Chains A and B, each alone.
Chain A
Amino acid sequence: MRIQYRVPEGRTAVYTEQEIRRKDVTEKKILLGNEAIARGAYEAGVRVSAAYPGTPSTEISESIAKYDEIYAEWSPNEKVAAEVAIGASIAGARAMCSMKHVGVNVAADPLFTAAYAGVGGGLVVVAADDPGMYSSQNEQDSRMVARAAMIPVLEPSDSGEAKEFTRFAFELSEKYDTPVMVRSTTRLSHSQGVVELEERREREILHYERNTAKYVMMPGNAVKRHVSVEERMKKLAEDACAMSVNRAEYRDLSVGFITSGIPYQYVREAMPEASVLKLGLVHPLPRKLIEEFAGKVDKLYIFEELEPVIEEQVRSWGILKAVGKALFTVQGEYSANMIRERVPAIGGELPELSEKESSSLSPAQVPARPPILCPGCPHRSVYSVLNRLKIHAAGDIGCYTLGAVPPLSVVDTTICMGSSISTLHGMEKARGKEYIRNWVAVIGDSTFMHTGINSLMNMVYNQSSGTVVILDNSTTGMTGHQDHAATGKTLKGEAVPAINILNLCRSLGIKHVYEVSAFDLQGLEEAFLRETGRDEVSVIITKAPCVLLKGVSFPDKCVPIPEKCRKCGACLRPGCPALTKNEDGTVSIDETMCNGCGLCAKLCKFDAIETRRVNKSADTARKD
């Protein structure tokens, strides 16, 4: 689908899928931060985009894939994605890779050296951080990584800037011969705001000439490149003082904030009369501009989420009146209320707590509602068996990490993508084969293709006896259903040969590789008992598509038969959210939530739940 926007005179904009399809075109649209980043790349003439899905970065690629002019792919992991973009850049095209903050770690190897090699066509790395950890295993600050890699960082504050800064990032990249990072956060990536659309400016692919001194990073060349990297960063820091993305907004001079990204919005909301130095380029910092601003304001606050990246540099220049983490936390998201509560109002004082309490309600004490596996999720079925057999699991990253919490309580460890297999291997090497007889590694199909395969190679090579369970639900589930090398479809929607995971495992020389349906409780039990007892490495692939996957239909519903119910609670044990225990001990099943997987019916020894075909028209609202 080609998205071509032309602007009819005087028309205001509404952003809808239908309008895009009708090519009924508008000037202003409300876009997610991520969609705006994709739009910025499109307008900048990007030709190649590569990524691995990861919240909160995923929609960048999903959005960019809609532009016919751009080649876009899901790569198996972020390292591959970064290298694809680097290759495209060296070949002379503008290229981009995008990833979540922990993906930056996976891609760190190529990125650190790409900073030395510099670019051909503009090269932009989008890193989406997750302050507050809405969907992540840590809260690291990508600006710290970029500083270590000596890569400049731009940080937009809303969807409009997300588009503008992304476009600008390509200009910077080419002008200073460096990869440039655009740093987002969950709040920016997943907020929508008004964006003015412009036409794409097509870029000719640059002439390619062999240049080993620049692109072959062996010691003799890298030594010289390191010198240019330092010079480039120094020059950028000087030029940054005059860049329009860095902007001093002088208002009341008694209070000044240095801030960037989403926190800028909180400053504007909480203290609209304060002076603000809004930084668009957060690395390297515009020292003169900051010194000038600091000299003009009485009180100086540095308002940045996560690490004190700006604060530590500013204080190292002797600007000791700057207050940052002494007042604001390194954890979680910021807010306007944080300023209202901790910074005295201009010409005033901190608000009295009692004043606030009297005018508002305090939060109600209510039961938590943590995320859970969906009704009908095949992972629940597999975990219900592992739980019954008292088998521990070294876990991995995906929806199935939720197997750590009650009532399933199967997963014992989760560190990072691909780690389940190698951590189980390490446990065995530390404590011996017998110790891991009641252990397995669990890993999703997409995560297995990401980095799990490397760990499995290690198991074979270093003679592990562990059992690996690949929870194959035919998609990258948690991030919202993205394809990968084993699904048979590309990001652009093309059908391609799917890598067969069973054959892939066998090709490593593993003799015992088995496929079992994720809902075959008896088959699963047999396989788990047999393979964990085996003295060599084995793989069990549990198969059933994610219930939310497009095209997967569940025509049945599970229906309780109260007369037959003995109130034993066996059906409730796997913790399916569609089931509720009634006061009399029988169960109700919410038909709007039930996907009819039949797990509860299978667990009932008294046939008190049946799986029944229901009237299809009752479910048309979602399944079309």
Chain B
Amino acid sequence: MSVKNIMIVGVGGQGTLLTSRILGNLAVRGGYDVKLSEVHGMAQRGGSVVTFVRYGEQVAEPIVEEGQADVLIAFERLEALRYLHFLKKDGVVIVNDWRIDPITVVTGAAAYPEGILDMLGEARRTIVVEATKTAKEMGAPRAFNVVVLGAAARYVGFGKEDWLKVIEETVPPKTVEVNLRAFEAGYCMEDAAGRE
């Protein structure tokens, strides 16, 4: 198969590293060559964060370049818009319907764009996920990232059982149960949204 390009974008602290590791382990489990590229250090502190996952028969560069992404997984609306141009024409964006104001908006130096979901939908195939809301209702607000991953699962590929197994093996032991539930919630949500 040709190389599959996935991007995970969000705000530093939202757990992009963990989700990219789940994807990476999934690809290795599937017998693929895989490369992931992450952001650490100062760039991570509440800033815009992007993580790349590429897998296939043989992967050269570890990053996804503009216009090359198959799937864009976004934990926040503005970040989805920021990286939208990385998607291929037939790429799909899975976006958490959640807003976090950048400091530039908090201080009044900039305005948070209105109508982001419409802009996404007009440009590319867009799946909107109420992940933060769902995770809060589950009593595990921080597990929203795995809810988004659940919703993204069928656009990424791999069998559901593989996902569950890899999540179990990748997340910290004490959070396995809550993360499996979070994945399930996202996966089912997409079951409905997928038929549109």
Which residues of A are at the interface with B, using a C-beta cutoff of 8 A?
12-19, 28-30, 32, 55-56, 58-59, 134-135, 158, 187, 190-194, 262, 265-266, 268-269, 335-337, 356, 359-364, 366-374, 399, 401-402, 405-407, 478-480, 572, 575, 577, 579-581, 590-593, 617-622, 624
Contacts and interface: CB of A to CB of B under 8 A. Distances in A.
Given A369-B78, A399-B45, A621 B143 contact: yes
B104 interface: yes
B110 A194 contact: no
Contacts of B47: 369-372
Contacts of B82: 363-364, 366, 369
Contact of B141 (A12, A401, A619): A619
Given A16-B169, A18-B169, A367 B42 contact: no
Interface in B45-73: 45-48, 59-63, 65-67
B111 interface: yes
A378 B140 CA distance: 26
A345 to B, nearest CB: 16
Contact of A591 (B78, B84, B112, B141): B141
Contacts of A617: 139
Interface in B23-54: 24-25, 28-29, 31, 33-48
B78 A367 contact: yes
A361 B123 CA distance: 8
B99 to A, nearest CB: 8
Contacts of A407: 103, 106-107
Given A371-B43, A407-B107, A190 B78 contact: no
Given A14-B29, A190-B38, A367-B102, A265 B141 contact: no
A619 B65 CA distance: 36
Given A369-B79, A575-B106, A621 B45 contact: no
B139 A618 contact: yes
B35 A191 contact: yes
B109 interface: yes
Nearest to B170: A16
Q: Considering the complex of A and B, which 8 residue pairs feature the smallest CB-CB distances, nearest first?
A: A55-B41, A135-B41, A621-B142, A371-B47, A367-B110, A360-B67, A191-B62, A369-B102
A369 B11 contact: yes
A480 B41 CA distance: 7
A191 B54 CA distance: 11
B117 interface: no
Nearest to B29: A14
Interface of B: 11-13, 21, 24-25, 28-29, 31, 33-48, 59-63, 65-67, 78-79, 81-82, 84-85, 87, 89, 100-107, 109-113, 119, 123-124, 132, 135-136, 139-144, 166, 169-170, 172-175, 178-179
A552 B139 CA distance: 21
Nearest to A397: B42
A592 B132 contact: yes
B103 A621 contact: no
A109 B124 CA distance: 55
A38 to B, nearest CB: 15
Given A30-B24, A265-B61, A621 B106 contact: no
Contacts of B81: 364, 366
A105 B87 CA distance: 41
A17 B176 CA distance: 13
15 contacts: A14-B169, A134-B39, A190-B40, A193-B62, A336-B65, A337-B65, A361-B124, A367-B105, A372-B46, A399-B42, A402-B42, A579-B106, A591-B141, A592-B136, A620-B139
B58 to A, nearest CB: 9
Nearest to A591: B141
Most buried by A among B81, B135, B142: B142
B81 to A, nearest CB: 5
Contacts of A368: 48, 102, 104, 110
A130 B170 CA distance: 28
B66 A337 contact: yes
At the interface, is chain A mostly helix, strand, loop or mixed? loop
B156 to A, nearest CB: 16
Contacts of B44: 371
Contacts of B103: 369-370, 372, 405-407, 575, 577
B74 to A, nearest CB: 12
Nearest to B43: A134
Contact of B175 (A135, A480, A621): A621
A190 B37 contact: yes
A374 B48 CA distance: 13
A137 to B, nearest CB: 10
Given A372-B47, A577-B100, A619-B141, 12 more contacts: A14-B29, A16-B170, A18-B169, A135-B40, A135-B41, A190-B40, A192-B35, A361-B87, A361-B124, A364-B85, A367-B109, A374-B46
B190 to A, nearest CB: 21
B88 to A, nearest CB: 8
Given A364-B84, A620-B140, A14 B166 contact: yes
A88 B47 CA distance: 40
Contacts of B31: 12
Max chain B CB contacts within 10 Å: which of A194, A363, A366? A366
A55 B39 CA distance: 10
A402 B45 contact: yes
A135 B79 CA distance: 20
Contacts of A579: 106
Contacts of B85: 360-364
A334 to B, nearest CB: 10
A158 B58 CA distance: 13
A158 B54 CA distance: 14
B28 A479 contact: no
Contacts of B87: 361
Contact of A16 (B25, B106, B112): B25
A30 B46 contact: no
Contacts of A572: 106
B91 to A, nearest CB: 10
Contact of A618 (B38, B40, B113, B141): B141
A84 to B, nearest CB: 24
B106 to A, nearest CB: 6
A194 B33 contact: yes
Contact of A56 (B24, B28, B40): B40
Contact of A373 (B41, B45, B139, B144): B45
Contacts of B143: 621
A153 B160 CA distance: 46
Nearest to B12: A371
A325 B113 CA distance: 39
Nearest to A572: B106
A367 to B, nearest CB: 4
A301 to B, nearest CB: 17
Contacts of A577: 46, 100-101, 103, 106
Contacts of A29: 28
A478 B11 contact: no
A372 B47 CA distance: 7
A13 B28 CA distance: 7
Contacts of B35: 158, 191-193
Nearest to A134: B43
Contacts of A619: 141-142
A15 B25 contact: yes
